[in-house]
Structure 1
Amino acid sequence: MKFYTLLLIVFLTVAQAFAAESWLTFSKPFPVRSCIPYGGGILLATDGGIRYRAIDGDRVFHSEDGLEEAIFHAIVGYEERIYAISKFGLIAALDAQRNVWGVLNRSYVANKSRVLPDGAALADSIIVIAFEDRLAFFDLITKTSIATIDRIGEYNLSADNIQKLVVHGDSLYVNVGEQSYVREMDWYDVGGDAKLFDPLSWSKVKDPSLVNGLVEKDSNLINIEGDIIDDPSYTISATPIDTIEVAGNQEIIYDTTVVRKTRWIEKAQDKYFLVGDEAVFLYDPSLNSLTDLSLFNDFPLGEPYEVHAVPTGGVVVGTTEGGISYGGVAPWSDLSYPLPGIGSQSAAFDARIKSISVLPDGHTFFHIWGFGFFMFINWGLDQQFSVGLNSGACLDNYFEGRYDDLGNPLQYVISVGSTPAPDSSGFLTTTSNGKKYSINYFKTNGEVYCASQVGQTSMAGPLYATIDEDGSWLLYVGSRQGTAIAADGGLDIIRIPSPKNNGGELSGATIETSIPLESTPVDMVYDSIGDRLWVITKSSLYYLDKNEKDKDTLVSPKSTNGLRASEYSAIDVDIHGNLWLGTTDQGAYRLSLKNKSPDTLTVKSYNVKSGMLSNDVTDLSIDHTLGVVWFTHASGVSRYYNKNLKYSSKNMTDSAKADVYAYPVPFRPAVHNRFVIANIAEGASVSIYNRGGSLIRSFRKDDTLGGSVEWDGRGLDGNLVAPGVYYYVVKNSSKVKKGKFIIIH
C-alpha cells in the first residue's frame, strides 16, 4: 500500500478552504512504542500518532483521522486486520479501503492504567493487552473486554509489570518480574476458561531465549538472512565510576549502558525494517544496503508548550527544549535556539510559563527559565539580543545570597509571564529575588528598565497591560507565593506613570489593588467587546468587575452548565467575545455569554473526539487573520479552523487589504463541493442570479460571519442548478460589489 503524502497535504489544504470548520494536527512521531509490517512499509505506534513509513511514503495518522488519541503504545494485526491501542487502552481499527481509523472500544480508558509499550498481541479474534497492573483479553467479535487478570504465577502485576508479551499459536508467553511464563490458551473460548484466573495455571519457561521474540538481544550486530550488519541504532553511554592503576598509569573504569538499539526487525515483502525508539531503517538484502527513513520534516518542534498568534496570520511556538518556531501559514520554520541545548524543560509545564509576546512589527519576546530573556524580529526567525544576569541589566537573581559547593554565587533568573508594553515600545515581564517580584521593561532597542521589588509576593505569573485615561500604564499581574501553580496568589493591579514622561524609565510604580484568590492565576485575557478582564486559576474562572463602590473585585460566573471540573491551563477570547478555555485532560471549551452577561455562560466542548490531537492542552491562542484556534500539547499542535473566527470588520472598507473575490472559477460542484465569496463585510447581503436575472440564492446575517459565504451550487429546491453563467452581488451599507462566474457539470 502506498500513501501519497504530498497529494494528501494538498487535499487537506483545499478541503479546508471549502469547509466551514476543520481540524489539522501536527506531531513528531517518536518515540516508537510498537510496530508491525504493512504492505511494503511499516506501521509505527508512537507518542505522536500512528505513522506509516515506506521507501516511497510517509504519513502520520492523528485524531482527525479517527484515532481520538495522540499517544499509542501498541499496534497489532496483519493484512487488513490492523488494530492500534492507545496509552490508556483505547482500541481503534484501520479501515484499509479508506485509510481512516474507527474506535472500537473506550472502556479501558476510564481506568487510567497505562498500556505497556509494545504490550499487545493478536490471537485469532482476541487482543491480549498488558496494562501496568493487569492483563486484559479483548474480543474483536463482541468488541468487549471478556477477561482481566492481575496475577501470574507468584507475581502481582500491579507490583511487577509485564515486560514482554508474545503469542505463538495457542501459547501465550509473558515476561514478568525475573521469570518467564507460558500458558496454553483456547482462543475461541477465552471467556469460558475458568482457570484463566488461577495464577498457578501458568508454567515457568525453562529457557526463554528459545522463544522467538521473548528476550531482547543486547548485541550490536544483527543477522539478516546470513548477512551480519552493525546495528545502526546502537548507542551506549559511558559513566566514569572509578580509577585504577595499571602499569603505573591511572585508568578510568566506566559503567556502560545501552541507551539505544534496534528493538524490532520486521520483514515487509522482500526487505527488512530495523526499528528503534528514535530510528527507522530499511535494509535491502539483495543490495546489502541500509536506508535511513527516520527523518520527519513535517513537524520539527519537539515538545511544544506555548503558542502565540501573530497579527499577520500564523503562530509562534515555544518548546521545552528552548526552541522557538514560526508556522501556520507556510511550513513550520526551523527552530531558533537562543541557547542550544538549554530550555525551560519541565518548568514550562510546572509553572505554566506564558513568556512569549509579540508586537505588530514582528518583534517577539521569549524567556528560558533560569537563564534569561531573548528578543527576536520576524516572528522569532532572527534573534536581536539576549539579556541575562551577566548582562548588567537590572534583573533579579532568584538565588540571591546563595552559593554552590565551591563558594560561587548561584545565578538564576526566572519569569512566568510577559505582555506587550501598552504603547508597543517593548515588553513587560517580571523577575524575582525569591522574596518579592520586580517589573522589567524591555524596549525594542535593547534598553532594560526595572521597578524593583514592587510586588508583595515572591513570584508573579501572567500579565496584561493597558493605558489608563490619564496616560499612565495599568499592569495586571497574577501574584504567587512560589513557582508552583498550586501556590497561594491573587491579582495585583499596578499603576505605572508613563515612561515617556520619565526618560523611558519605570518609576513610581505602586500597587493600587491586591485581590486574593484560592490559588495563583495561570492565565488571563482582556475581552475588548465586553471591556472585561478574565482570569483563570488552575481550577476556577473569574472576571474583573467594579461594584457599586467602584472597587475592583474578581467574580465567578454563576452558571456554566457543561463546564466539567478540570485543571485549567490557558484562556483566550475570539472576535465575538467567546472565551476559549484549555484544560489538562478534557481538551478545550468555548464559553459564550448568554444575553451578554458574564454570569451566564453557554458551553461547547472540543476534544479528541472532535479532531484535537490530545485532550492535554498546554496553551491556546486565537488567530483572527486565518480564523484558527491553535492548541499546543506535549505531543504536538492542533489547528482548528472556523470561518466565523476570521476578523472581517475592515472588509469592504477603504482600509481593506483585499477586495471581494470568488473562487473557484469555473465552479464544478461535483469536484469543488463549495463556491466561496470571500472578503465580504459581516452583515452584508449576498445574492446569486442566473444569466436571465432570476434570483437563485441569497445569504444574510449569520451566513456572512467570518467575512465569507459558501454555496453548494444548489437552488432553494435543493437541486443542483444548471450549468452556465451566474452573477453575484454583495451589498453593505456603503458599497456594492459584483462578479461573474461559470458553473460546469
Structure 2
Amino acid sequence: MKLILRSFLFFIVSVAFAADGWNNFSRTENFYAGAVANGTLILATDGGVRFIYSNGFSEVYSSEDGLESSIIYGVVHAANGEILTVSDKGLIATYEGNGRFITVNRSYASNGTELVQGLAVTSDSILVLGFRDKISFFDYVSRKSVMTLSRIGDVSLKALSPSAMLVQGDSLFVALGSEVYVREVNWQALAQDILLADPDSWTLAGSYDSGDTAKVTIRHLAWNKGALSVSFDKTLSPIVALKDTLSAGKFANLWKNDSSKVQQVLESEEGAYLVGKDSVWFYNGAELSNVSAWSYFPLRTPYAATPYVGGKGGVTVYSTYGEFGWSDGGGWVSQEAPNDLGFYGGMEAYDRLLKNVSTLADGNVLVGIWGFGFRMHPDNGTNRGVEISPSENTCVEEYFTDFIVPVGITPSPDSIGWLVSYWGKSAYGIAYIDESGSVSCANGVGSGKFAGPLRASWSDDSTEWILYSSAGRTEGTEGSGLLDIFTITPISQTGGELKIVEQMTVPTPDNRYLIDMDLDKAGRLWAITYSTIAYWEVGMDSVQPPHKTSNFEQASLTSLAMDPNDRLWVGTLGSGVYMIKKAASNPDTMKATKFVTRNGLMNDIVYDVAIDARLGIAWFVHKNGMSAYSRSDLRETEAYMTSKGPEVKVYPNPVHLNWGQQIKFENVAEDATISVYNSGAHLVKFFAGDELDGGRVTWDGKDRRGVYVAPGVYHYLIKKGSKKKQGKLLILH
C-alpha cells in the first residue's frame, strides 16, 4: 500500500536557527484528571498539562515550562483561583500565566513515593494528596506541607492505598479498598488539628460490596441527594451532565458495550467536559463533540532517532507502528505507517533497546523490522523501497522458519550501503545491503547467537573497513556478551561480495552485552553496557571503563551518541541523560553533567539519543514523545568559513536595540575572531575563543564597558587566517 504523507512542510516552515534551551513534544494519550477554569479544560496527562479551550484550540505544557515533570497525575482549580498540578512523584506546581508554571513544592517527590492517579482535592487553602502509602495535606497559600497520615482507622496506607477521595463541606471521605472512612476537618485551622494524625479519630462510614468478586476497590465517591454514594467502576455510570442522563442509546460513542468511557464530568458555563481515559468530549446540552484530537506530536510510541540528512538539519524518528516523523526542533510532520505488516516490533523495541534505523548520506533509510527483515525508505523515510524478507529468497539467515531477527544497522564507511546484523541459530550473521536491495551475507560468523548494534569506519590507512559488532552470548540487554571486530574488504573491490579479511574478539566490562556504541573523532570506540560506559582503541586487550568519571551515578543505560566536540550523550532508564566529556587529554578521566526533568527533559526515561550537528540539537526519545535540547556547541563547525561551508550570516540589519533585538553572527569558524568598530574606527567589541563555540555569537549591542553603543553605522570584521568577512551594521535605538 502506498504511504500517504499527512503533510510535508518540513524545513519550509521552520526555525532557521534554534535558540539554546529545551523544547518538548509529547503525545498526550492518557488522561488522569481534569479541572475547569474560565471555560478552559485543564488536563493532567502522561505528556504534561494540556489546556483545551472553549474554541477547540489546545496547548500542552511540559517540564521545560516550569512543571519539572511531564507525567502529571492531578490538577485542581483552587478556591483562590489558582490552577495547581501534581506530578506522578508529587511535584506541586501552579500556573503563572502565559504558558509558564512554577514548582512550589518538591518535598513529596524527594520521598520517592507515587501519587494515586487523580487523587488531588482541595478545600479552603488545603490541597489533599492521596499517595500510594500516605495522605498528605498541603497549604497551597503558604506553600507549606501541613501533615501526612500513614494510617487511617485500622488500615495502614502502606498496605492499602487510598483509591478515591471526596470533600463534602467539613468532611473528608477516603476510600480504602471496599471501605470508606470519614473525618470532620476544620479546613481553616488544619495545622491546629493535632488529632488529625490519630488513626482513631477517623470513622468508618461504611463497608460496601460490589456484587462482583472482580471489583473489590471503590473507584468513585459522590454526594447525591444528601448521602454518600460509591462506585467500583473506573468509569461513571450513569453519565449525568447538565442535568441530562447521557445514555448509550442517545450517545453511543460514550459507551463500550454496557460500560461508560467517561471517568469525570466537569461543567462550565459553556457546557460540560466529559473526560475519559484517552478521549474528551464536550456536551453543550444538545450535541456532543470529541475535543481531544492532538497532532502536534503525531507519532505513537517512537523508539529510534537518526539525524536528518540533507537540507539544514533536523531529525528522523521511527515508531513501533512503522511511522516516520521529522522535525527541525520547531514542529513535526509525519507519515502514516504502511498497513501490510501487523507487527513492527512492539515492546521488543523497548525491551531490547533496538537501534535498527540508519540513514545514508543521500537520505536513504534502512529499517530493521522484528520478525520480518529489512525495509528501505528513500528520501529520509518519505517513500518506500526495497524489502529484504524471507519471501524474497534472501541469504539472510532465519532465526525461526520465516522469521528474521534484525538488530544492528550502520552505514558502510563509504555511505553507499549498509552493514547489518541479525540473530543466527548457532551464531549471528552480518550482511551488506546496497541501495538496490542486493544482499551479500556472512552467516554464523559472530561470537554469539544474538546480534547487537554496529559501527563501521575506515581503517587507519583507508584501505579496509572496520566493523565493530556487539555479540550477545545470552539473550537480553543485561546478558553476557563480547565485542567482535571485523576487518572487511570494501565492497567496491569485491564485486558486491561481503569478504571478511580478519576477525578478532575483545572482552567487554564484566563480559556484558554492549547496548550501544559510537566513534569519536580519533577513531576510538565508545560503548555502553546496561550499567557501564567504556571504550576501546587499537592496542587494548579489552573494552575498558575510564578510571574515573566524576558526577556519574549508577544508572540503567540505554543509548549513546557522540557530539562534534567528542562528548558522550548517554540516555538512561529513569535517571535522565548524562553529557560526559574528557576532564583531561586522555579518556581515563571523565566528567559528567546530568540533565533530568527539572532541567527541562520531558521524561527521565530515555530510549535513544541522536545529535543533529547542523542545527545543534540533542534529541532524546521517550515512549510518548521527544525532547530537543538546543546548544550552540553541538553544531559541527569544521566547514565554517571554508569553500564547502555555509555563508556567514549577520542579522538583523538594521537592528533596533530598543525593541529587544540582538545581533547574530552565524556560521563563524570557532578559531576566528569578530571585531566591531564604530565610524571612527575605534574597536567597541571583540569576540574570540570560547565565545565562538558552535559558530554562533549573539551580541546585545553593549561595548566592552557594558554600555549600549550609540545609534549609527558600525563595521564588523570576521577573520580566520587569511579569510575575511566584513560589512556594515546599522544600529538604531
Query: What's the TM-score, normalizing by structure 1?
Result: 0.88
Q: Which moved more, 1:181-190 or 1:482-491?
A: 181-190
* One-letter identity of the residue aligned with 2:596: N
Deviation at 1:383, TM superposition (A): 1.4
Q: Which moved more, 1:227-236 or 1:371-380?
A: 227-236
1:394 corresponds to: 395
1:242 corresponds to: none
Q: Percent identity?
A: 31
* One-letter identity of the residue aligned with 1:368: I
* Aligned partner of 1:644 among 633, 638, 642: 633
Instruction: Spell out the pairing of 1:608-627 with structure 2 (5 A cutoff).
Output: 608-627=597-616
Structure 1 residues 203 and 325: CA distance shift in structure 2, 3 A: same
Q: CA-to-partner distance for each residue in 1:221-251, whole Å, 9 max, x for gaps?
A: 5442447564565342xxxxxxxxxxxxxxx
2:533 corresponds to: 541
Structure 1 residues 561 and 385: CA distance shift in structure 2, 3 A: same
1:482 corresponds to: 474
* One-letter identity of the residue aligned with 1:732: K
* One-letter identity of the residue aligned with 2:590: L
Q: Take 2:694 and 2:394, find their aligned partners in 1: how far apart are those partners?
A: 45
Q: Take 1:347 and 1:718, find their aligned partners in 2: how far apart are those partners?
A: 56
2:263 corresponds to: 263
2:410 corresponds to: 419
Q: CA-to-partner distance for each residue in 1:162-184, whole Å, 9 max, x for gaps?
A: 22212122111222212233221
1:710 corresponds to: 698
Structure 1 residues 89 and 381: CA distance shift in structure 2, 3 A: same
1:580 corresponds to: 569
Contact 2:31 2:46 in 1 (8 A): yes
Instruction: Spell out the pairing of 1:67-466 with structure 2 (5 A cutoff).
Output: 67-78=67-78, 80-96=81-97, 98-187=98-187, 188-190=189-191, 192-198=193-199, 201-205=202-206, 210=224, 215=231, 218-219=236-237, 222-226=240-244, 228=246, 230-231=250-251, 233-236=253-256, 258=259, 261-285=261-285, 288-312=286-310, 313-328=313-328, 331-339=331-339, 341-399=342-400, 411-466=402-457
1:527 corresponds to: 520
1:405 corresponds to: none
* One-letter identity of the residue aligned with 2:589: T
Q: CA-to-partner distance for each residue in 1:235-290, whole Å, 9 max, x for gaps?
A: 42xxxxxxxxxxxxxxxxxxx674x61222212333221221211222223xx233
Residue aligned with 1:378, SS: helix
* One-letter identity of the residue aligned with 2:528: I
2:216 corresponds to: none
Q: Which moved more, 1:152-161 or 1:351-360?
A: 152-161
For structure 2, list consecutive stretches of 5 or more residues without a partner in the other structure.
1-12, 209-220
Q: Take 2:272 and 2:605, find their aligned partners in 1: how far apart are those partners?
A: 36
| Residue 559 of structure 1 pairs with residue 560 of structure 2 | no
Q: Take 2:462 and 2:732, find their aligned partners in 1: how far apart are those partners?
A: 62
Structure 1 residues 232 and 37: CA distance shift in structure 2, 3 A: farther
2:21 corresponds to: 22
1:37 corresponds to: 36
Deviation at 1:533, TM superposition (A): 0.7
Q: Which moved more, 1:142-151 or 1:557-566?
A: 142-151
| Residue 660 of structure 1 pairs with residue 660 of structure 2 | no
Q: Take 1:608 and 1:221, find their aligned partners in 2: how far apart are those partners?
A: 37
Residue aligned with 1:483, SS: coil
Contact 1:325 1:381 in 2 (8 A): no
Structure 1 residues 429 and 257: CA distance shift in structure 2, 3 A: farther
Q: Take 1:715 and 1:117, find their aligned partners in 2: how far apart are those partners?
A: 54
Residue aligned with 1:703, SS: helix
Deviation at 1:18, TM superposition (A): 8.1
Q: CA-to-partner distance for each residue in 1:424-448, whole Å, 9 max, x for gaps?
A: 2221221113431111222110112
For structure 1, list consecutive stretches of 5 or more residues without a partner in the other structure.
1-11, 237-255, 400-409
Q: Take 2:18 and 2:399, find their aligned partners in 1: how far apart are those partners?
A: 52
Structure 1 residues 228 and 559: CA distance shift in structure 2, 3 A: closer
* One-letter identity of the residue aligned with 1:502: T
Contact 1:153 1:201 in 2 (8 A): yes
Structure 1 residues 621 and 257: CA distance shift in structure 2, 3 A: farther
Structure 1 residues 686 and 35: CA distance shift in structure 2, 3 A: same
Q: Take 1:631 and 1:587, find their aligned partners in 2: how far apart are those partners?
A: 10
1:635 corresponds to: 624
Q: Take 1:640 and 1:712, find their aligned partners in 2: how far apart are those partners?
A: 23
Deviation at 1:646, TM superposition (A): 1.4
Q: Take 1:190 and 1:544, find their aligned partners in 2: how far apart are those partners?
A: 60
Residue aligned with 1:505, SS: coil
Q: Take 1:394 and 1:637, find their aligned partners in 2: how far apart are those partners?
A: 36
Q: Take 1:355 and 1:725, find their aligned partners in 2: how far apart are those partners?
A: 54
Q: Take 2:338 and 2:420, find their aligned partners in 1: how far apart are those partners?
A: 18
1:698 corresponds to: 686
Q: Which moved more, 1:145-154 or 1:569-578?
A: 145-154
Residue aligned with 1:560, SS: strand
* One-letter identity of the residue aligned with 1:645: L
Count of equivalent residues: 695
1:249 corresponds to: none
Q: CA-to-partner distance for each residue in 1:493-547, whole Å, 9 max, x for gaps?
A: 122333333331224465322324322111101001x33111111111111034x
Instruction: Spell out the pairing of 1:719-734 with structure 2 (5 A cutoff).
Output: 719-734=707-722
* One-letter identity of the residue aligned with 1:45: A
Deviation at 1:143, TM superposition (A): 3.4
Q: Take 2:229 and 2:265, find their aligned partners in 1: how far apart are those partners?
A: 10
Residue aligned with 2:391, SS: helix
Q: Take 2:666 and 2:489, find their aligned partners in 1: how far apart are those partners?
A: 44
* One-letter identity of the residue aligned with 1:636: G
The RMSD of aligned alpha carbons is 2.6
Q: Take 1:422 and 1:18, find their aligned partners in 2: how far apart are those partners?
A: 30
1:512 corresponds to: 504
Q: Take 1:234 and 1:483, find their aligned partners in 2: how far apart are those partners?
A: 44
